[in-house]
Amino acid sequence: MGVKDTSSTGEARVDSRREDGSGRTDPHAGAELDVIEVGGTIKWFDAGKGFGFIIPDTGGADVLLHVTCLRRDGYQTAYEGARIVVEALNRPGGLQAFRILSMDESTARHPAQMPAARTHVQVEPTSGLERLEVKWFNRVRGFGFLSAGEGHPDIFIHMETLRRFGFTELRPGQTVLARYGDGPKGLMVAEIRPDSWGEGPSSH
C-alpha cells in the first residue's frame, strides 16, 4: 500500500497543459496553466472519501490531493506524515495536486503504528445516549462541537475521543449518537457512536 506500481504509470502521465487533474481534458484550458511544484507532508488522506490534503513546506493553504491523482501515478493511498512532492494546478478553490513526482513513507504514520490515544480529560457521562448534530469540527485544531438544538449549550468533543471510538473526522450537519458530561469548561462528549449504531433514540 502506497508503493508505486511502476508497471501502470507509463501511459498515465499526460500533458499538464491539457488535463485538468481529474483525468478529463479541460476545454477551458489555454496554452498556459499555472503548474507549481510543491513539496510537503500528507496532512491526512481518507481513501473512503477519495481525497486528502498536503501541508506545503512553504506554508500557506493546504493542497488538495485526490485519489484519482494518486492512482493515476501508481499509488493506492497516502499515509499521514508521508513526504510528498507534486505538481499542483492553481484552481479557483486553491491548489490541487495534478501529478505525484515522489512520495517517501519513511516518516509516515501507518494506522497500525498509531499510538494509543492519550486521554486528555476523563469525563463521566451524565446524559443518556442522545442523537446530536455536528455543529462544526476542525481536524487540525483537534476539536469541535455538537449540538442538541437551539436553546441547548454546545457540547465540546476532542479528536482523541473520536479516535477512541473509531472515528477519523466529523462533518458539519452530520448526526451522531453521544453521551456527555461536565468537563472543565462546560459539557463534553464522553462517548460517541455512529447514528446507525444499535437502537438509537429518536431525533429531537
- pLDDT at residue 121, rounded to an integer: 62
- pLDDT at residue 155, rounded to an integer: 94
- pLDDT at residue 162, rounded to an integer: 84
- pLDDT at residue 180, rounded to an integer: 95
Tens digits of per-residue pLDDT, 25-72? 343 343 356 789 999 999 888 877 788 899 999 988 899 999 999 999
Question: Looking at the DSSP assignment, which residues form a beta bridge with residue 155?
Answer: 146
- What global pTM score does this model have? 0.44
Question: Is residue 8 within 8 Å of 74, Cβ to Cβ?
Answer: yes
CATH of 130-194 given 2.40.50.140, 3.40.50.720, 3.40.800.10, 3.40.50.300: 2.40.50.140
**What residues of the chain score a pLDDT lower than 70?**
1-33, 110-122, 198-204
Amino acid, single-letter form, for residue 48? G
What are the residue ranges spanned by the domains of the chain? 6-111, 130-194
**Comparing 6-111 with 130-194, is the CATH topology the same?**
yes
- pLDDT at residue 80, rounded to an integer: 87
80 burial level (CB within 10 Å; 0-12, 13-18, 19+): middle
Q: What are the DSSP calls for 91-135, one per residue?
A: ETTEEEEEEEEEEEGGG---GGGPPPPP-S------S--EEEEEE
Give the angle 33-36-38 at the CA atoms, nearest 5°.
Answer: 155
- pLDDT at residue 119, rounded to an integer: 43
Please name which of 93, 72, 94 lies closest in space to residue 24, comparing C-alpha atoms.
72
Give the angle 164-123-145 at the CA atoms, nearest 5°.
Answer: 70
How far does Cα 129 stand from its chain's mean position? 26
What's the CA gap between 48 and 60, in Å, rounded? 26
**6-111 — its CATH code?**
2.40.50.140
- pLDDT at residue 9, rounded to an integer: 37
